[in-house]
Structure 1
């Protein structure tokens, strides 16, 4: 019995289903043979046929609109566009800007810190990466808080904590104080991205989420631009301690802006699924689609952040032989690249989505290009260094794609927790990779203050291996169905079939599946 017949014979049960024409692509197969929480038991696995018949299998999908039937993406009253920009979009952009600035500023100030405190590669890596460690550890509880109390209150309170961390870091007299201050900064800005994403999902139309995410990440990533040439100028002018006094005032002002300018959402969340079951973190981590994209997103984006925020500068100085000014200039170019890349990825994802191409496909392509750029760096391919490092930095903006997919997979009621779960892996990966590179590089003795090329090559190669494994895991459904396609293509002449396969868009990408009617 197909879905439409069920809808006619059992109208009560179909109240939980979404209009088929508005339902996003269906989820992937369940893990370990069990249906993911996004699948409705007993749903018919009808396939798309060549004559354009609707893909009824999509009715099983549990997207943002299908958690409680025709659940709206937001229970809020629509705001005028100008107010959405001024009182929702820009305040959270300011918070994310500070987060990006603090994330990447160590690449510029680490020489001064190393000189003042006598830090080696391992200590420098730990100081930079503790930000990612604390940031990652805070994602899950902050996701719960954001879903419960809203982005306005949570973000403003956390930025006050960041003010304390910036003050301690700027007045530190020991490595331990630097470490604690850096950790508090990481905690204070840990919700900057998630709070903005939560606000966007709450207030903006669902079909514009990827584009608005791209705009926020593009403007926020200007913090990485600021952390290069502008910060270098300020360092030469006022020194790193006075610089952190300026950042203290800026962080406090941003906290006040968010608290007083952002509107408070009306209504309350409905923590229920289409089965009447509560939506929890277990729902996120048990979802087959999440388990597919998370390793690829975490290894690629985490590696990009780890390299851009610290080890790109070390590579350029030790391996490429750049002087300080040349390093700063290239970091500036890379930062511009990540800012423009965020907007570009958002636009491309938006247009491909309108053409029926899943965002998962674009994420896989970005991951593959990232690995090719890293391999070219490690092998010292005769290509412009700035081109390869720009590719590395742009991949850090692929959160535009990852979080747009998360918005499709899960309802608004647990949007922050789902984003937090993925962000936990992003920053956890960044911490492990950034600190791990430092540990590996530190196995070689520096010569004239510089580490040998082979140290970086081996360290970067370990990251590439992790990314390759994650890409293979991500592509397993495609590979499996491609094998089915080849098998069916060989068998088709034997049974007289002209079209043995049909393309079916699913949550994990466009895969090849046998069409039931063809068989």
Structure 2
């Protein structure tokens, strides 16, 4: 890699790391928010999901802005909105104000992923994108590690409001790093009108090829992130570690073990993004398409979910490491989409795909909270059957999407050729 490419990877990876921190920080904040504001499961799910709603709602305009003004300027400027949202969230005295802050955080980091992928697509060869994008995702995965044991430790010595204010400062610093350190790239068609830019987005969203590629991947990723950013903690406490608690361990010990497993999941996510990205590239050189290798790894992820829900007698560390390693493999679809659409549309293609994922996360986090709320709470725990029912429904949905993904599509090449002409 050249020094310019390394600098680009570094600053955009920092931005996505911050985005990922905000995504999962409520996993550690949850007990304090429930205690301070007396939130129900539905309240907590709704509050947390507003990040994803803000993120998703900004994707279409952000995609247009990325293609018009470039990843450096758009990502750095929008992150300042996230910094303001973090300050509002951390200082809020009511649920309503916290919702506003959480929503603004989502809007503010909405360009971090699409901007990173737009930048890598402009500065790296297509054949390198599976590995390079895996590095960006791995950097984000460090945020998944940080919201486990490290965040649990930090909250033991500092209040959640202080941590939230610290995140606001970190976000502003990351924005400055992108503005100063990221290379600029000349956009191919800066003279195109905004109306035409939005027409390009509509072309992407109305493409059958886009939805065939995006449905299975989008669903697996939305399930993974909905769980990792909030509900995996409740599942660990109520199902995986329930027997551990009943065996005499106090609540603090059980919570520490849950936080450790969350960090393990995040570390496995990092390894999975790097490893499977490199594997996909190696297999592609041997004639195996990224489309196929990505589909197989996503199927394995669904199988691991089924094993966890069924409480297969394997060590928790093994199951949750597999869950983390396979959970992000759908990210390879970004590289597949880059082969089906022209470079001038990549900002809108990436953000359209991200829009699909984050709208699904928003819906799933609320739906999961509402579904769990239908069962009685006992000593702060939901019955194992409640979690298992939710997981079983999610597995069934993903299997249905997998069928469409793997059904032969004789018109895919023709659709791809048509997309390239737009």
**TM > 0.5 between the two?**
yes
User: Could you tell me which residue of structure 2 aligns to residue 209 of structure 1?
Assistant: 129
User: 1:360–1:507: 8 Å Cα contact kept in structure 2?
Assistant: no
Equivalent pair of 2:85/2:104 in contact (CA under 8 Å): yes
Paired residues in the alignment total 402
Structure 1 partner of 2:6: 85
Q: 1:319 is paired with a residue of what secondary structure? A: helix
Give the 4+ runs in structure 1 shifted more than 6 A. 505-508
CA 1:230 to 1:415, structure 2 compared with 1: closer, same or farther past 3 Å? same
Q: Deviations over 1:51-94 (max 9, x none)?
A: xxxxxxxxxxxxxxxxxxxxxxxxxxxxx8012212x1111111
Distance 1:209 1:217 in 2: 12
Specify the alignment match of 2:82 in structure 1: 162
Which structure is higher in RCO with an 8 Å CA cutoff and minimum separation 6?
A: 2
Q: Distance in 2 between matches of 1:239 and 1:362?
A: 44
Partner Cα separation in structure 2 for residue 271 and residue 433 of structure 1: 39
Does the aligned pair in 2 maintain the 1:304–1:395 contact within 8 Å? no
1:285 aligns to what? 205
Is residue 406 of structure 1 aligned with residue 326 of structure 2? no
Query: How far apart are the structure 2 equivalents of 1:227 and 1:233?
Result: 10
SS at match of 2:159: helix
Distance 2:414 2:259 in 1: 41
Q: Is the partner of 1:383 in helix, strand or coil? A: coil
Which structure 2 segments of 5+ residues have no match? 245-253, 416-422
The correspondence for 1:437, drawn from 368, 377, 380, is: 368
Q: Which one is further off, 90-99 or 215-224?
A: 215-224
Instruction: Please name the residue that 1:124 is paired with.
Output: 44
Q: Report the secondary structure of 1:99's partner residue.
A: helix
The separation in 2 between residues aligned to 1:370 and 1:401, in whole angstroms, is 14
Report the alpha carbon displacement of residue 270 of structure 1 after superposing the two structures with TM.
7.8
1:181 to 93, 101, 123: 101
Q: Which has the higher helix share?
A: 2
The Cα offsets for residues 25-47 of structure 1, whole Å up to 9 and x where unpaired, read as xxxxxxxxxxxxxxxxxxxxxxx
SS in structure 1 of the partner of residue 408 of structure 2: helix
Report the alpha carbon displacement of residue 432 of structure 1 after superposing the two structures with TM: 1.4
Q: Give unpaired runs (5+ residues) of structure 1.
A: 1-79, 482-504, 509-519
SS of 1:105's equivalent in the other structure is: helix
Cα RMSD over matched residues?
Answer: 2.3
- TM score, norm. by length of structure 1: 0.74
2:382 aligned with 1:451: yes
Could you tell me how far 1:399 is from its partner in structure 2?
4.4
> Is 1:97–2:17 an aligned residue pair?
yes
Provide the rounded CA distance (Å) in 2 between the counterparts of 1:279 and 1:89: 30
Distance 1:456-1:404 versus aligned 2 partners, 3 A rule: same
Q: How far apart, in 1, do the equivalents of 2:414 and 2:267 lie?
A: 32
Deviation at 1:301? 0.5
Instruction: Report which stretch shifted further, 416-425 or 397-406.
Output: 397-406
The whole-number CA distance in structure 2 between the counterparts of 1:370 and 1:144 is 33
